[in-house]
Amino acid sequence: MNLDRLQAGRFTSGDMDIAWYEAGDPEGAPVLLIHGFASTAHVNWVFPGWFKTLEQAGYRVIALDNRGHGESSKPHDPEAYHPETMAADAAGLLDELRIGSAHVMGYSMGARISAFLALARPELVRSLVFGGLGMGMVDGVGDWDPIAAALRAPSLDDVSDERGRMFRAFAEQTKSDRLALAACISTSRTLVSREDLARLTMPVLIGVGTRDDIAGSAEELARLLPDGRFVDIPRRDHMLAVGDKVFKAAVLAFYDEIEAGRPA
């Protein structure tokens, strides 16, 4: 999309300065996009075409740079990155923009933040899309301490862990604050219990790549939700599934179904 048409703003959440972006029809149904770890609103949502896809479908599209990422504040204290706190940033943006409820879509860490947002402020959430995170939301996604160590290492050459190298290279590509990311990954992985999942009564769509070795099963997570469904994103790994056309088509169909059933 033409980046000149992307409105940008900032607001204060607690003592954090949070950057946000908006495009699309101001009268359209709002969609809030929450990006993943070590990414940004642009990397996760603008460049892979999500803003363009949702704008063309008539939606009001909003995204934020999570704290520690992009143009938002980047504290180095791990206590700043609990998912409940990051979810409060997202809720604060909806309050700032006077949006009473929105479709909320998160990818990877953003999916976890979306779940905590829906648990804390269910009235704000019309629906949820969890991209890149299935049963890992409940069972965890393995040991990420090597990723924090990789981010703190003097250089990429000092990193031997394969996943650590992947995220270190990604952080360098996006010119991220590596110490902020290391702090974030230390405390942002709080699990969501099965009991809390049962409280998410809004429609939920889960999309995971068939070659994703991080997310865990989308189908199993869908079974734990009162109104859950899932889509397998064929031949995509954790990094490539986010912009896939199968995923986009499934999300648009999901939103169309929900909006068709809403009172006029």
Q: How does pLDDT run across 134-148, given as a tens digit for each residue?
A: 999 999 988 888 999
| Alpha helix stretches (DSSP H) within 61-177 | 83-96, 109-120, 136-139, 145-152, 162-173
Q: CA-to-CA distance for 253 and 264, rounded, in angstroms?
A: 19
Return the pLDDT at 1: 59
Residues (pLDDT < 70) of the chain are: 1-4, 263-264
Q: Which of 256, 155, 157 is nearest to 205 (CA)?
A: 256
Q: Any idea of the CA torsion for 90, 92, 97, 99, to the nearest 10 degrees?
A: 70
Q: What is the pLDDT of residue 2?
A: 57
Nearest CA to 76 out of 5, 151, 132, 21 is that of 151
94-137: pLDDT as tens digits:
999 999 999 999 999 999 999 999 999 999 999 999 999 999 99
Domains of the chain, start order: 3-140+193-260 (3.40.50.1820)
Per-residue model confidence (pLDDT) at position 175: 87
- pLDDT of 207 reads 98
Pinpoint the alpha helices (H) of the chain.
41, 50-56, 83-96, 109-120, 136-139, 145-152, 162-173, 178-187, 194-197, 218-223, 245-260
pLDDT score for 264: 44
